[in-house]
Each structure stands twice: as structure tokens, then as C-alpha cells.
């Protein structure tokens, strides 16, 4: 149901993240016992800090922990009356599912904005099992009205933690955020390249902080027609790249040129090879789902090919 959150583990144990009920972006999800931010982390990107010290006790020892990246999945939709959100307007036919066969999180919803304009939205967030530095987000929308819309590709600094900005930038339809981890000074870059519909314009968008970057995709829609906006992600850190900036930007552009369908062909084939090692449980459908969920998470957390 809307309001829940699904964890999506990325391939090869390299990139991990959570997505909110909206299917993309950043949110503070309220769980029964705590608030859980939908953050993303990458293997090898660590910071060091001193945890809070209770009164009267010796100072705590500095500890290392993974730093959190800007949220990279945001492709927000706006018909001019406010961005798509499950907490505004009217929500119908909502469904969110994680396909453990392909590592794809899909969110579908029919949303009516506060202006009364209805649209069918489908978000697919997919890691590239073949290229561990890459992931893709695809938004397919079918409006039931005619007029201008804006889709914003945002690298959202609200999700970042234990990092400082080393600069942001744009070139063409590619943008990036360069980061340094607190205490250790490790560096990382998150880059995104947006692939807009035909006839759309792409321009840099203002952001609220120095660890965010945004670009707006603006186009006019006709009722009943389908439109697709794709976002290709590249992530690299100094632990595995001599030049994280160049690596992340190149990966993002290469993934955009590859395209969502060709990326899925290769990535799905890699997953299919893993699933040749399926574990089948007879007579207990619930246990079967639990076993396959565990197998997926183990497979997504390692570079080892079990098949």
C-alpha cells in the first residue's frame, strides 16, 4: 500500500538503495518504530565521525561508516500544479512490485493532480547487472489531458550524509555531483544523463543545496499518447577508480546510448543465468516466496555467479 517502502539491492554488491512508495526519489518513510530515509550507498565509499557521547562518559572513538549518496532515482512529474506525490491529489490503481528475476522495481499509479489532470505513471528502477557502475530509471506516462508537463531529473542532496560537495555541473543532457567523504576525504561522483521524448527541451534546474543537481525536461502532451523519459546513472568512487568523475560521467553517457531496452536484454540475461540455481519448495507457497527473496538478495549483494 502507499506509504510503505521497498528496499532494492543493486548488482554485484556495489550500489545499494531504497526507493519510496512513489517509485523514485527521496522520502522519509515512517515505520512503526523509526523514520527510515530512502538513501543510497556505494561499496568502498566511507566516512569517519565521532558518535555522540552520553553525558559523563569518555569521548567516543571515531568510527568508519558508509557515506550516503544523493538520491539518484528522481524523475518527478509535474503538470504545473505541483509534483506527483501520493500525499496529494487523487491516487488510483496503485501497485508497486519488485521483480526478483530481473532486479527491477516497478511502480504503477493513476494520479490526478490538484488541478484535476489525470495521468497514468509507470516507473521502472533497474540496476544493470552487466555494468556494476550503472543503473537506469524509466518513466512512462500516458496523460488524459493536453498541455505542458515537466519531468525533473534530480540528484537529490537531501539523501546525502557524511559528505561534502566538491562541485556540480551540467553538459548537454548530463549532470553530476562530485563528493568527498567526511573524515576520510574519499571522493565519489554521481552522474545522470536524461533521454527526453522527441521535441522536449532539457535545461538545468535550480536546486536547494550544494550536493544536488537538477535538470528539467519540458514538453507538451496530448491525451492518450504515451511518452517516455529515461535516466541513466553512473556512480564511481576513489576506492575503485583513479578518476571517479570521468568514470561516472562516461558510464552515464554510455548507458544512455545503450538505451533501456538493450540494457535490460543484457542485464536480464545475466540474472537468468543466476536463476538456473533456483531452489524449489513444494507445498508451501509462502516459504517458496521467502526462499526466492533470500536468493535474490544474496545474488544482488555479491559479484559471485552461483550458476
Largest CA distance in the chain: 66
Burial (CB count within 10 angstroms: exposed 0-12, middle 13-18, buried 19+), residue 98: middle
Specify whether the CB–CB gap between 123 and 23 falls below 8 A. Answer: yes
Cα–Cα nearest to 76, from 231, 261, 198, 249: 231
For the beta carbon of residue 271, count every other beta carbon within 10 angstroms. 24
Q: Quick one: which H or E segment has residue 253?
A: helix 244-258
Burial (CB count within 10 angstroms: exposed 0-12, middle 13-18, buried 19+), residue 55: exposed
Cα–Cα nearest to 155, from 147, 142, 167: 167
Task: State the pTM of this model.
Answer: 0.91
Quote the distance between the C-alpha of residue 83 and its chain's center.
Answer: 17
3-state secondary structure of 60: coil
Show the low-confidence residues of the chain (pLDDT under 70). 1-12, 53, 59, 303-307
Cα gap 92→230, rounded to integer Å? 24
Cα gap 139→218, rounded to integer Å? 14
What is the per-residue pLDDT across 106-145, written as a single tens digit (0 to 9) for each?
A: 999 999 999 999 999 999 999 899 998 999 999 999 999 9
Cα gap 15→77, rounded to integer Å? 25
Amino acid at each position: 500500500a502507499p506509504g510503505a517502502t521497498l528496499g532494492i539491492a543493486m548488482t554485484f554488491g556495489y550500489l545499494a538503495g531504497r526507493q519510496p512508495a512513489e517509485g523514485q526519489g527521496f522520502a522519509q518513510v515512517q515505520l512503526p518504530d523509526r523514520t527510515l530515509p530512502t538513501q543510497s550507498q556505494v561499496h568502498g565509499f566511507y566516512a569517519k565521525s565521532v558518535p555522540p557521547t552520553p553525558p559523563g562518559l569518555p569521548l567516543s572513538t571515531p568510527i568508519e561508516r558508509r557515506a550516503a549518496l544523493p538520491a539518484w532515482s528522481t524523475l518527478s512529474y509535474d503538470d504545473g500544479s505541483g509534483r506527483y506525490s501520493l500525499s496529494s491529489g487523487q491516487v488510483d490503481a496503485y501497485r508497486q512490485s519488485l521483480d526478483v528475476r530481473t532486479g527491477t522495481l516497478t511502480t504503477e499509479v493513476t494520479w490526478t493532480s490538484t488541478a484535476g489532470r489525470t495521468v497514468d505513471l509507470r516507473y521502472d528502477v533497474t540496476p544493470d547487472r552487466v555494468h556494476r557502475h550503472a543503473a537506469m530509471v524509466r518513466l512512462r506516462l500516458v496523460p488524459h489531458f493536453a498541455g505542458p508537463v515537466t519531468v525533473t531529473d534530480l540528484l537529490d542532496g537531501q539523501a546525502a550524509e557524511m559528505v561534502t560537495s566538491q562541485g556540480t555541473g551540467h553538459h548537454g543532457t548530463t549532470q553530476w555531483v562530485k563528493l568527498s567523504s567526511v573524515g576520510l576525504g574519499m571522493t565519489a561522483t554521481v552522474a545522470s544523463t536524461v533521454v527526453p521524448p522527441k521535441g522536449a527541451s532539457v535545461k538545468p534546474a535550480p536546486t536547494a543545496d550544494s550536493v544536488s543537481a537538477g535538470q528539467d525536461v519540458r514538453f507538451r502532451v496530448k491525451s492518450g499518447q504515451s511518452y517516455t523519459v529515461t535516466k541513466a546513472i553512473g556512480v564511481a568512487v576513489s576506492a575503485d577508480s583513479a578518476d571517479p568523475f570521468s568514470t561516472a560521467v562516461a558510464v552515464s553517457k554510455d548507458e544512455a546510448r545503450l538505451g533501456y531496452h538493450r540494457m535490460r536484454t543484457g542485464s536480464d540475461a545475466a540474472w537468468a543465468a543466476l536463476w538456473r540455481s533456483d531452489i524449489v519448495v513444494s507445498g508451501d507457497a509462502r516459504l517458496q516466496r521467502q526462499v526466492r527473496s533470500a536468493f535474490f538478495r544474496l545474488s544482488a549483494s555479491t559479484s559471485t555467479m552461483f550458476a
